[in-house]
Structure 1
């Protein structure tokens, strides 16, 4: 019998805070570095519920999802395994606090994002920033 290896669904969040800031987390696990809050979708969980849960667990904030932005599926986007992520844009109030698998969570101005970012998160943030400024979505 053939063994099927399928991509794993994940969610990532671009959490916008007042003052034109975006929340990033410093990862505890590999790969280490700064990343968008997010993670794996649990069995029986919707993408939206996973996004809200991951925000609560990783940055300690209740996020209001505004829209589902785009799906990113490059098989090389995560060095651990093939994932397909659905990116959400959301808003929150308050200051983030790192929790779960985040060493810390911090808001950054769009003009001062840390580099490099883990995974394809620099690409995602660039796409979202362009969308927020111009209304133009990522082209396929």
Structure 2
């Protein structure tokens, strides 16, 4: 009977073997801290793409510093799930209050920005524009407005790159612009 192939093992250098021995001898809390210092960390946010039911309009926000329009979005709180953060941010920024059943993950459901070191988890929903009153606070959000997907206002660079992944916005026809570096 033939023997299954054996995995080959490359001998570790003495330095590397010693470093691992020392590392694993450290208390777990110290090891975790060292990994967080050495390894790249990412901030995680949740983004909501809110369309009209016929997908002809999208909800955009103008926020400080006001150099363009963007999507309802924000950072996850500690222990918060991305879909909960997306719903919370939409409610805080626009007054639209949805349940989990009303949203779904976009495709792709996450966009990784390696140069900025953040991850956007992206969700979509449909809301009839005439059925909701947009409520903004005037501080975090200056304006909220429904725009035709074919005639959007000036969009922030970050939102433009994100929207390009979904074939929307000013970079939709430039796949290299959607690159998330």
TM bucket (normalised to shorter chain) is 0.7 to 0.9
**SS of equivalent to 1:85:** strand
Rg larger for: 2
Structure 1 residue 18 displacement after superposition? 4.2
Closer/same/farther in 2, CA of residues 129 and 9 from structure 1, 3 Å limit: same
CA contact (8 A) 1:15 1:89 kept: yes
Which deviations, in whole Å up to 9, do the C-alpha atoms of 1:42-68 show, x marking residues without a partner?
001100100000000011112421334
Matched with 1:60 is: 95
Q: Root-mean-square deviation (CA), in Å?
A: 2.8
Q: Does 1:75 align with 2:85?
A: no
**SS of equivalent to 1:73:** strand
Closer/same/farther in 2, CA of residues 95 and 129 from structure 1, 3 Å limit: farther
Which deviations, in whole Å up to 9, do the C-alpha atoms of 1:94-121 show, x marking residues without a partner?
2423236111111101111112x22432
**SS of equivalent to 2:80:** coil
Matched with 2:125 is: 90
Matched with 2:86 is: 51
Which residue of the other structure, out of 156, 159, 166, is the alignment partner of 1:118?
Answer: 156
Matched with 1:24 is: 60
TM-score, structure 2 normalization: 0.60
Which residue of the other structure, out of 120, 133, 142, is the alignment partner of 1:103?
Answer: 142
Give the count of matched residue pairs: 127
* Unpaired stretches in structure 2, ≥5 consecutive residues: 1-32, 169-177
Structure having the larger proportion of residues in strand: 1
